[in-house]
Amino acid sequence: MALVLEIEYLSGVAFAAVGPDSGTPDWPPQPDRVFSALVATWAILGQDADGQRALEWLEALPAPMLLAPEAPPRTDAVVFVPPNDPRSDRRKHARGVLPALRSRQPRRFPASRPHDPVVRLCWPDARPDPATFAALLALARDTAYVGHSASLTRCRFLRDDAPPDPGRAAPPRRRVYAGRLAELCRSFEAGRRPLPGARVAPAADATPPRTGSFGGRWLVFEHVAGDMPDLRACALVAKTLRDALLDGYRRIGRGDDIPEVVSGHAPDRSPSRDAHLAVLPLPFAGFPHADGHVMGFALVPPRDSTLLDDADFRRVLRTLAPIAEDHGRRLLTLTTKAGTPRGRAFSIGLSPTFEPPVGRRSLDPALYTRPAPVFATMTPIALDRHLKRKGAARQDEAAAQIADACRNVGLPEPDAVVCDKHSAIVGAPSAYPAGGAPAWTRWGRPRALASRHLTHAVIRFARPVDGPVVLGAGRFVGLGLCRALDPDRR
């Protein structure tokens, strides 16, 4: 039997920081934070002996398992708020009580917005006696918040006959220990902030993490001008951006010495056998009410590549993206060649940045680079070979090709691959339109990929792998881009 503490965030937001000077949200709530909330409740209720014995029993248990959903961090803006009320009885502070003259101090309120507001802390094999369990129930019932006082909660202790699967639980980063209650009481009496709980050493893992061929450091190009084409045309825009980079090397006098990692070709003009630069779309997708419109693109070099710090590459960027006075930032203008069909022509302005813009979550590479066991395609995979089978066997043939594509980029053999016309990501367009649909609803592709079969897929690995996961024949122009899925979420 397991002891479970269930915490529901009633407003759907958890306000808590890793440290007093940190802007990083503390998610999931760590055992020392939860224990401190219970201690605060015990103190407010009068510090009764039964509650003290229950807390001392709880602090002596091993660190619990954490079962918490994915929680994207909320934008952490700096706000200026008044400090404590000034002394109005002193002449030099008298004017400070007026609203217009009150001083302001910068403050940050980091927060997380979990997909599911319920978090569970589980202590396997913990069996409290009836009196201890009753005292814990009373403390949990009156614990109104965990973390910041704005994090309103409903808490309760449960006995669970079926402990959760450890493989789906997150290991805690901090824990409590015997004597923690007395330590918190001493800190409160001394008027000082208590130290955080003890750090939990990560479990040793002899198996090195499996990663794909692309790196986690991206150069983001934010869309700031012009009408961005639909996500279905992302491969055409990506190829135009790649061609602009090649032209940039020619403009700085390096046209005969373009790095293989940029051109994708060996010195003898043959296709490169090594991974090279990918251009990936960054759409508004995977969030409630997402519509899939493209908010920018990213240049993603191979893992361990130093391309983004290369002096010639920086010269190319400065040449292609001069400072635009009306935008106050560098602007790269991409325009299709003369004669491009009207439905595929575009002229857009992209601004390069190494930091994702504040408030534009869809441009954050962390959405794609975090480790996860399950990934789903944002853009369909262009299969390496033509499909020959019919019916249900055709889906199995496509799944086998996707498994091969995983191995080709250095990823492990997936446990399962499920192919489908539709994406599991909210806002991502289907791999192919219904019959009779207009031409613009089809995925536009460069000529070399025009005949490839497209399919969306959900891919599950036996253990988490590091992103980004980009698969298939069109992975260098934005096709086959995958995003991590939360296995506990529908």
Please tell me whether residues 167 and 303 are part of one structural domain. Answer: no
Asked whether residue 168 carries a pLDDT value surpassing 60, the answer given is: yes
Chosen domain end from 165, 199, 233:
199
Please tell me whether residues 66 and 81 are part of one structural domain. Answer: no
- Look at 234 and 102; give whichever has higher pLDDT: 234
Which residue range(s) make up the domain with 82? 75-109
Structure confidence by residue, pLDDT tens digits, 291-315? 999 999 999 999 889 999 999 999 9
Q: What is the mean pLDDT of residues 70-83?
A: 67
Structure confidence by residue, pLDDT tens digits, 335-360? 988 877 777 789 999 999 887 776 78
Structure confidence by residue, pLDDT tens digits, 435-449? 888 877 899 999 999
The structural domain count of the chain equals 3
Question: Cα separation of 112 and 7, whole Å?
Answer: 15
Please tell me whether residues 191 and 250 are part of one structural domain. Answer: no
**pLDDT band, residue 422 (cuts 50/70/90):** very high
Please tell me whether residues 163 and 278 are part of one structural domain. Answer: no
> Which residues contact residue 10 at a Cβ distance below 8 angstroms, ignoring those fewer than 6 apart?
117, 152, 153, 154
Q: Does any domain span residue 444?
A: yes
Please tell me whether residues 313 and 458 are part of one structural domain. Answer: yes
Q: What residues does 122 pair with on adjacent strands? A: 4, 65
Tell me if residue 16 falls in helix, strand or coil: coil
Q: What is the mean pLDDT of residues 230-254?
A: 94
Please tell me whether residues 349 and 421 are part of one structural domain. Answer: yes
- 118: domain CATH number? 3.30.70
Q: Does any domain span residue 299?
A: yes
CA nearest to 159, candidates 132, 182, 180, 191: 132
Please tell me whether residues 255 and 166 are part of one structural domain. Answer: no
Q: What is the mean pLDDT of residues 422-433?
A: 94
The pTM for the full model equals 0.60
Please tell me whether residues 175 and 234 are part of one structural domain. Answer: no
**pLDDT band, residue 108 (cuts 50/70/90):** low
Q: Does any domain span residue 336?
A: yes
Please tell me whether residues 350 and 233 are part of one structural domain. Answer: yes
Percent of the chain with pLDDT over 70: 87
Please tell me whether residues 176 and 273 are part of one structural domain. Answer: no
Question: Cα separation of 7 and 30, whole Å?
Answer: 12
Tell me if residue 278 falls in helix, strand or coil: strand
Structure confidence by residue, pLDDT tens digits, 183-231? 999 989 988 888 888 877 665 554 555 667 898 899 999 999 999 999 9
Please tell me whether residues 450 and 390 are part of one structural domain. Answer: yes
Q: Does any domain span residue 102?
A: yes
pLDDT at 384: 92
